[in-house]
Amino acid sequence: MRYYYPESVGHCVILDPSRAFQGIWKVVRGWANPRLVSRIQFARNETDLLKYVDTDHLLDIFGGKVQSDVTDYIAEIAEENDWMKDVETADRLQQKYRAHLWRLEALLRERAGCQETETKETRAEAVIEAELEQVAKDVRLAYHRLRPYIRTKTMLDRPQHRPLQDNGTVEWTDLYV
């Protein structure tokens, strides 16, 4: 997943992990990037989960206010896949997306070989981190702009229910509250 969505995990909450998973995690977290480790939290029960997720955006089966009726299917609309016919725009957006990914990869490689202080040959880690934050945002936005030209994957991709706006902000509708 890291290759498709690099630096895009804001927070991950794992609900009620097994003891085996917790044991494995204790070993794995020592090898993982500290930034990633700091983003992963564990909740033992629904009460712990409420520390991380607002009840307005949490399914009722986990103590939230969102109805969890999984039988509600939002049918696709006839025009939702028409964007895929615009191959020229899709190709242009895909090139932009790939360019951002290549820039992100170059920065990650640079960060792997950088030092805490800047020298004539290398930039300081803090400078690279700041640029990484912006490029990661650029990757997310480029992917968001490309998504309609690929294929609808979930109801969150449907034009009438898309919570992620073109500028990268999230706008929850009555469907999700």
Residue pLDDT, tens place only, 120-148: 667 878 888 889 989 988 998 998 888 88
pLDDT of 74 > 50? The answer is yes
For the segment 11-26, the average pLDDT, to the nearest whole number, is: 89
E-state strands within 19-78? 40-43
pLDDT in tens, 77-98: 777 778 888 999 999 999 999 9
Q: Which residue has the higher pLDDT, 104 or 172?
A: 104
Judge whether 66 and 73 are in contact, CB under 8 Å.
no
User: In this predicted structure, what is the pLDDT of residue 94?
Assistant: 92
Q: What is the mean pLDDT of the chain?
A: 79
- Hey, how many other C-beta atoms are within 10 angstroms of the C-beta on 152? 18
Distant-in-sequence, close-in-space partners of 110: CB < 8 Å, separation ≥ 6: 122, 123, 128
User: In this predicted structure, what is the pLDDT of residue 113?
Assistant: 75
In order of 21, 87, 121, the CA distances from 15 in angstroms are 11, 41, 45
pTM: 0.50
Which three-class secondary structure state does DSSP give residue 71?
A: coil
Positive or negative CA dihedral for 164, 170, 174, 177?
A: positive
pLDDT of 159 > 70? The answer is no
Judge whether 143 and 101 are in contact, CB under 8 Å.
no
